[in-house]
Amino acid sequence: MSEQTWPRITMYSTTWCSDCARSRRFLRRHGIPFEEIDIDHDRAAARSVVEMNRGLRSVPTIVIDGGPTLIEPRDHELAAALGVELGNAAGGGGSGA
């Protein structure tokens, strides 16, 4: 069985954001590598997030190379964008409406 190849994923986040923590847990739980950029400590990244979000400083903003940019996604949205079945890992936190 071959190992899963993932697109490059960049997650713009903050340390205090509970949605960021949920998305971080989702990616880690599924063994999906990602780069995390804390916009509280990176002014250029913060400006990029505001530009991507029509003037809003929304986090997490998750950029998937060759795929969508997800703004404050729920677990089921991340799963759909990455082709992950939610039943493959314990817990589905945030997969509800």
Mean pLDDT of the chain: 90
Domain count, the chain: 1
Q: In this structure, is residue 81 part of a structural domain?
A: no
Over 90: is that where the pLDDT of 55 sits? yes
> Among 91, 70, 68, 67, which Cα is nearest to 20's?
70
pLDDT digits (tens, 9 = 90+) for 56-88: 999 999 999 999 999 999 999 999 999 999 874
**Domain carrying residue 15:** 9-73
Q: In this structure, is residue 29 part of a structural domain?
A: yes
Neighbours of 1 (CB within 10 A): 3
CATH of the domain at 14: 3.40.30.10
pLDDT score at 14: 98
In the structure encoding, which two tokens stand for residue 66, read together? 């060759």
Longest dimension (CA), the chain: 45
Its pTM stands at: 0.86
Place of tokens 């899963």: 4
pLDDT digits (tens, 9 = 90+) for 3-43: 789 999 999 999 999 999 999 999 999 999 999 999 999 99
Over 90: is that where the pLDDT of 94 sits? no
Q: In this structure, is residue 14 part of a structural domain?
A: yes
Please give the residue that has the higher pLDDT: either 16 or 97: 16
Q: In this structure, is residue 21 part of a structural domain?
A: yes
Q: In this structure, is residue 78 part of a structural domain?
A: no
Query: Are the C-beta atoms of residues 62 and 23 closer than 8 Å to each other?
Result: yes
Query: Are the C-beta atoms of residues 15 and 40 closer than 8 Å to each other?
Result: yes
